[in-house]
Structure 1
Amino acid sequence: MSDGIERATEGFVSAFGSAPEGVWSAPGRVNLIGEHTDYNEGFVLPFAIDRRTVAALAQRDDSLLRVASSFTDEVAEIDLRSLTADAVSGWSAYPLGVAWALSAYGADLASAPGADIYIDSDVPVGAGLSSSAAIESSVALALDEVWELGLSRETLAKVGQKAENEAVGAPTGIMDQSASLLGREDAAVFLDCRSLDAEVVPLGFREAGLELVIIDTNVKHEHSTGGYASRRASCERGAAAFEVPSLRYLSVDDLDRAQQILDDETFRRVRHVVTENQRVLDTVRTLREQGPRAIGALLDASHVSMRDDFEISVPELDLAVETAQANGAIGARMTGGGFGGAAIALTPAELVADLTTAVVDAFAAKEYAVPAIFVVNAAEGARRDR
């Protein structure tokens, strides 16, 4: 982590010619289980990972907000007095969108001081590990502090979601920001996306001799493109057919009627969300009662549901999951929004090396891009580092 702090500090000096007054960071996240349930007011079980985005910041004596980063030569700038959701675009929509979204929670952009911000990150982009929420959460925490807003972390999660929905244009739920802001070491965040109640659930992977392996397929996805939005629209149609606010109000017992009143595609979308909610609850209970070595079948079933009912997997993800399962993984599934990104494989530590080799070989045999494979640990959420 110290490397990221130093890179961000040096990048800030290079971009803006002076030292930052503080450095904040926020982690990416991996979702253990509970996919596409968050915007349906359901349950999710993500955890923050030990890959972080760092935001170095210094206040200005004018109203200009400038943002630079290690992943582009562009320096985006805008006057806070003219900052709107429609005035930002590209990668800078994430940090600038956060500044705009804070205005809905007490920030007075007409009088707030401007800031220079430099962003550095080792969260892989497009892998389903929520690099976007890591940017939003680090910037939100930094601006909350320097603007003396005093917002709770739960509120800052809403700020990040508002930025992503309205400034970036991605119709995501609140899971990613909640995990990034509320994460704890060796624990997951069990989040009820209707009430926003969050509970820390110990994972116990290390004690059980398990590692969570990330298999980044290097197939890039974009949440703001049509596939994600069309799935969300299907869920809304399903809820409307039952005259309920969201699919959270349905249970597995409602699926027989759902099959009768919905067209086949909408039914399968609904079935995924309803059964995935139940799998999250079952996973939390199993972790508490039996430990992490007993959750593999739930992870496997989640992938099948996303592949067949929600149809958000791709051949590379399926191959990653199937190869991991055949080479020692207790359970494996795609994670994230789908249409690319990463799979996860809960694997005995002594089998990680063999599993890695098997997946690389399987991808080579299919002439797919070389996957990036690494282990992540459950880590602390957003914080001030310096």
Structure 2
Amino acid sequence: MRPVAEAPAVSTDLEALYDLHDVARTAEQRVPRPVWDFIEGGSGQEGSLRANRTVLDSVFLVPRVLQASAQPNTGTRLLGAPVALPLVVAPMAYQRLVHPGGEVAVGRAARAAGVPFVVPMLSSVPVERIAEGAGTLWLQLYWLRDRGLLTELVDRAKAAGCAALMVTVDVPRMGRRLRDVRNAFALPEDVGAVHLTDADMLAAQHQVPGRSAVASHTRQSFDPAFDWSCLEWLRSHTDLPIVVKGVLDPRDAVLAESLGAHAVVVSNHGGRQLDGAVPGFSVLPAVREAVSEACEVWVDGGFRSGVDVLKALASGATAALIGRPVLWGLALGGEDGVGKVLDLLRDELEDALALSGCADLKAAAGLGLMGELPRRLERHE
């Protein structure tokens, strides 16, 4: 039995979508409600989910004038490699839930846009197959109870051509996502976490009233005792660059860098873990201040336009991760739909740079901001 309803047939004219709000509204009509809730929902009362947008909307750029460039340069380098945009396609689980092309389609669209794609550990397509058509690939890791399986996956990723590892550190267990609980959400029979065991996949497909099957299977797979010593172990096992995702306290960013992290992602997991956790954008300046210039600082959480990305750059970020909008585009048109989302962000970022007097991303980092974004974070030692 399939636990989610089939999507209604909806014709989508990608050319008639002019911003990510258009993409979202159209995708909501296309995606079955339980799947939409799984994608869009947060944990608890979804306060952190809402706050991600609230803080971005409360901060305003101070543009410069008479310094415009006819064609602003959106290129930069991430982990030493050139990218066309200061964007990273975030790791998102089970992408075949919304389109048969799944992670393969997303990887191809990211390659065409010139941005990295982080293959999710809970991918519905094997990393080797994704790598066949993708460009710059990195692999996301959750920390598994089965250290042997984790080691095997790290080795597989390197053999497939993944250039870095992104370790998600804010999921000792999955947050209580009430939409999924109320929907008794489970994966359909043809979608699973192919990098894990058959038992894991079956657990995620087993529907139980009043429970999230996805939360149940991750609880049996993820190691709740994950700590900093695990990061040390990973550093000793691989020579791939390591990115630590899920940092909010500057002290944790400093620890991550001291243990060999090349970059940190300031993130509250899209409001899907601790409800009440501060938005990553709010603490971005404090994290940037705490680590060395050698450590890149990226951010995610609610970014929906090129102006949002420019705000991140002006606040100290090297790049922003884009999550849910990629799934919206995937649902609407597979590779073409994801390409549409990334094209919109590119066009909006170019426009925002030109209108703020920035010829490139270095100039963007010097823009002023006004609003409620704190410049320092009070910390209790």
The TM-score normalised by the length of structure 2 is 0.27
Q: Which has the higher contact order (CA 8 A, sep 6+)?
A: 2
The TM-score normalised by the length of structure 1 is 0.26
Structure number with the higher strand fraction is 1
